[in-house]
Structure 1
Amino acid sequence: MQELPLRELPKGPAEAQTAAFDGDDSDLQQSPVTRSYDPSHDKRDMRRLGKRQELKRRFRFSSIVGYIVILGLTWEFSLVTGTFSLANGGPAGAIWLFFVVCCGMFFVMLSMAEMASMAPTSGGQYHWVSEFAPRSHQKLLSYIVGWLCALGWQAAMPSVAYLGAQQVLALISVCNPDYVIQGWHGALLTIAFVVFAIGFNTYALGKLPLLEGLAVVLHVFGFFAFLVILWVMGPRGSASDVFTGFQDQSGWGSTGLATLIGMVGPATTLLGADSAVHLSEELKDASYILPRAMFSAAVINYVLGFVITVTFMFTLGDLNSDVASVTGQPWVAVVQNSTKSFAATVVLLVVMIIMFTFCAINQVTTSSRQVFAFARDKGFPFHTWLSTVRNDGVPANAVFVTLGFTVILALIVIGSTAAFNIILSVTATGLFASYLIVICCVLAKRLRGGQFPPTKFDLGYWGGNIVNIIAICFLVLAFVMLFFPAVPNPNAASMNWAILIFGVIVVFSLAYYYVKGRHEYEGPVEYIRKDV
């Protein structure tokens, strides 16, 4: 087979760049929806990556866009977590920080999309670090990022299931005002959510692309239902208070600092720029379709999330009574006060429960694929068992690990919700750290004039530099803010223990690496072939 040269990034804007692996970019003029599928592209990608095609390619452009949109669930998360930023920043802080995070995550997404086109693999960030980091740091950095990504996505599963469980508890409270929410109720419902999601991923995975279409329809109709109801029937705040009413209710002594600390809410809402990356090996024509799907879904998510955030801040009404709602969900109190209707509140709650169920199903898929990929490269203990794939293309053992991990964490809710939330902080810190590390590696290699694989989503030399630099600046700021407590001078209960959990994971991965991992883990770069 004739060897095709790797793409070398030009030293300036005037030099041409390669757009595709085969040197023919005529098919790039086609719409990703109407583009005919050529399996040779995916085969060539897998051959270059040194991987066998074990998972089934079930997804196309429309279904993978739906997958990303439903896993992101931005307008739903914006409602559920909308009050978290009010103490730090107020309504204006919540709105403008959401806009800033949208802009920052957009550049992160563009950076990830280019890498996804270069190397469309379920491994995602740890693979890209292994391939693009300086040679002397490839193995160790890749190993740490693999652990951060895997545990970050594993912790995201109980987060989504618990939020879904809280909506069920809110529904019970609306239907029975005498009901008192107990910790073990939330734990059992969290387990129920994940068991259903695991069951779907284990026995009905072939129906997942169809499910995405149904979920997107409900997602869009639900968005307009909430939007119309809140604007037509809800109380209306003044534009000056909503858009310029920055507040420091927590007592930081600086409205600017308080507003930045409020970034945690929108940052976690918009987390997951890599969500579809881990389905690269289940997507047809991945190197072309995936980056375009990531771009399209990001625009949809950011617009819907921002519109609902603005709507929610305008129609809050009495914040104190909303937060004190017996349902435990301030957004439910806002809907109740706006509609004055039991039936409308129940219907909207049911919509939210269904959407979180869809999100949980997608969450299992991404979480298990990250575990499968890292185990396939011998990054985990029991990697042979974890990387086993059934004949139907389902990595069942990795799926069941997600079930066990979520059940164990869900049981913590019975004893302490605070401890549960502390552990789940690894979702944001782990994934943000992985984004930061891999984009820094790509930018450093780009500035050195290094060689990259051909890509069908080329940002160009200068465009890539600008996108990467903006993404890094945003990630550094967001990463630091993730470790701030919600209030100054916190006690043990209000302290942000995210730094502890993050440190434990890094130390543990390093310890395991030096004890055993370095003898088994070679890094994906060692399997890459240059003859394709």
Structure 2
Amino acid sequence: MLAISNAVYSFLGSDCGAHLCEEIPNPAKNVPRVILYPLLVGMITAFPFAVSLLYAITDLEAVLSSPTGLPLIEIYYQGTHSKAAASVLLALFAFCFFGNLVANGTTCSRTLWAVSRDNTMPYSHLWMEVSDTFEMPLNAILLSATVITLYGLIFIGSTTAFSAMVSCAIIFQQTSCVIPQAIVLYRGRDKVLPQRYFNLGRLGPVINATAVAWVIFLDVLYCFPVALPVTAQNMSYVSVVSGGLVLFVIILWFTTKKGVFRGPKVDYELMNERRLVALGETIGVEVDVHHKVKGSNDVDSLKLQPLAVTDACM
């Protein structure tokens, strides 16, 4: 079961497309593709790669106790019997991390910029600024780069602390993604969700319920120790780190944000116009932003009610 939790780490960046909605053309159609296509490609490519690694292992104990702390180096060496070949293969693997780092910095800075625009962060006025020269949130990306660098240094100081931070990142991400699904499941998908391109249909409630149950199970599982008896060295510090971060948010709320935070400023008129266009495309008619329908006399059936808060969040 602990191995299952490790596999979830590979999905950690699957929400990047959602953080770039404002910069993606036609996000209602393209963002689901951005989220799903990499998962499909990853499944097709990662499975044979994992199988080949398993067949390359000849000494499992050496892999588990590798002095480098990176079992992949030892697996490459056992598979090739050459330190040079293992180094080249690992270099190719590390090269991919540079591309991931760009995506990491981009999505982190855009998320920081977005929440600062809603006055969520300390010193939000700094992180919400957009550079006139570079036409991007420069302050936000510099802060993200600094925090990411410091986060990487944790691995050098303590692998236990680093593992706890990684597990907490997964817990917070998957929990934040599943809360809207729980709300939709509780209130009823047809009552909450607007017309949209990506519609799960009858499978929607099943998928939402499965996701909620799965995340609850994983959140508990991440707090389990990896060995018995439990000592200060081998215990899981995920609960400690998670509790500390939640405590930080609570303190931030009561000290600076309570009574001040107003949430995202949603242009309901614009969002209703976009919903109207999406609805028209769904039923096969052309709709302009002034609620004029071409090829249909049933205009009233296309007019939408004002958005609820949950609609805007979804």
Q: For this structure pair, what is the TM-score category when the shorter chain's length is used for normalisation?
A: 0.7 to 0.9
1:455 maps to 196
1:275 aligns with 2:13: no
Residue 49 of structure 2 corresponds to which residue in structure 1?
308
Matches within 5 A, 1:310-349: 310-349=51-90
- Give the equivalent residue in structure 1 for 2:266: 527
1:465 pairs with 2:205: yes
- 1:497: Cα distance to partner? 1.0
Residues 112-123 of structure 1: matches in 2 within 5 Å? none
Deviation (angstroms), 1:349 = 1.7
The alignment status of 1:423 with 2:165, answered yes or no, reads yes
Structure 1 residue 434 corresponds to structure 2 residue 176: yes
- Quick one: which amino acid aligns to residue 226 of structure 2? A
Query: Paired residue for 1:404?
Result: 146
- Matched-pair contact (CA < 8 Å) for 2:57–2:75: yes
Tell me how many residue pairs correspond in the alignment.
Answer: 270
Query: What's the offset of the Cα at 1:411?
Result: 4.3
Question: 2:16 and 2:79 mapped to 1: Cα distance?
Answer: 35
The structure 2 residue matched to 1:485, chosen from 187, 204, 225, is 225
CA distance in 1, matches of 2:106, 2:150: 19
Deviations, residues 474-505 of structure 1 (Å, cap 9, x unaligned): 21222211111111332111111111111122
One-letter code aligned to 1:450: K
Q: Which runs of 4+ in 1 moved over 6 A?
A: none
Q: Percent identity?
A: 25
TM-score, with structure 2 as normaliser: 0.79
Who is 2:253 aligned against?
Answer: 513
Q: Is the 8 A contact 2:2 2:221 kept in 1?
A: yes
Superposed, 1:49-198 pairs within 5 Å as: none
- Aligned to 2:259, the other structure's residue is in SS state helix
Q: 1:499 aligns with which of 227, 239, 248?
A: 239
Change (3 A) 1:334 1:415: closer
Q: Give the drift of 1:398.
A: 0.9
Q: 1:494 to 1:361 in 2, by over 3 A?
A: same
**Is the 1:425–1:501 Cα contact (8 Å) retained in structure 2?**
no
Q: Structure with the greater relative contact order (CA < 8 A, sep ≥ 6): 1 or 2?
A: 1
Structure 1 345/315 Cα, relative in aligned 2: closer, same or farther at 3 Å?
closer
Distance 2:185 2:170 in 1: 22
1:353-398 Cα distance to aligned partner (Å, 9 max, x none): 2111111111111111111111111111111111111133311111
1:386 touches 1:398 (CA, 8 Å); kept in 2? yes
For the Cα contact (< 8 Å) 1:436–1:476, is it kept in 2? no
Describe the SS at the equivalent of 1:520: coil
> What amino acid maps onto 2:268 in structure 1?
R
Q: Structure 1, residues 270-298: CA drift from partner, whole Å, max 9, x if none? A: 22331221111221222111112322221
1:267 and 1:478 in contact (8 A); partners too: no
How far apart are 1:515 and its partner, in Å?
2.7
Amino acid at match of 1:315: A
Gaps of 5+ in 1: 1-259
One of 159, 177, 187 as aligned partner of 1:445: 187
1:61-105: per-residue Cα shift (whole Å, max 9, x none)? xxxxxxxxxxxxxxxxxxxxxxxxxxxxxxxxxxxxxxxxxxxxx
Contact 2:119 2:261 in 1 (8 A): yes
